[in-house]
Amino acid sequence: MKMKVVKINKMFRSGSNEHFLVLFESYPNDEIDYLVEDWCESDLSGSNYGYHYGWTFVEDEELINTILKDKMKIIENKIEKLKNEKSEIEKHLNTI
């Protein structure tokens, strides 16, 4: 299955936030609504006065590739951080 990217626009009193959600499997629209709402609730912007949101599928292949490359960088950084943590734990355990 081809990955899908959802563009979320969260609008609130003092501005708006844009977020891209990468879907690795097929979801019906009501489940996408739930995932989008979940992201909006975890983003604290607009919590005081309320917000509304909308979402659309991203169709622009160049934008999708940019989003996926950015996601890869984030994943690579997380992997590197975990490797460093593992190494520190192993060092500690080897000194016992």
Report pLDDT digits (tens) over 65-93.
999 999 999 999 999 999 999 999 999 99
Q: What is the C-alpha to C-alpha distance for residues 61 and 50, in angstroms, rounded to an integer? A: 33
Res 63 pLDDT > 90: yes
Q: What is the mean pLDDT of residues 37-51?
A: 86
pLDDT of residue 1: 60
Residue of 12, 20, 4 lying closest to 55 (CA atoms): 20
Q: What is the C-alpha to C-alpha distance for residues 3 and 16, in angstroms, rounded to an integer? A: 26
Q: What is the mean pLDDT of residues 14-33?
A: 92
Mean pLDDT of the chain: 92
pTM, to two decimals? 0.77
User: Which of helix, strand or coil describes residue 3?
Assistant: coil
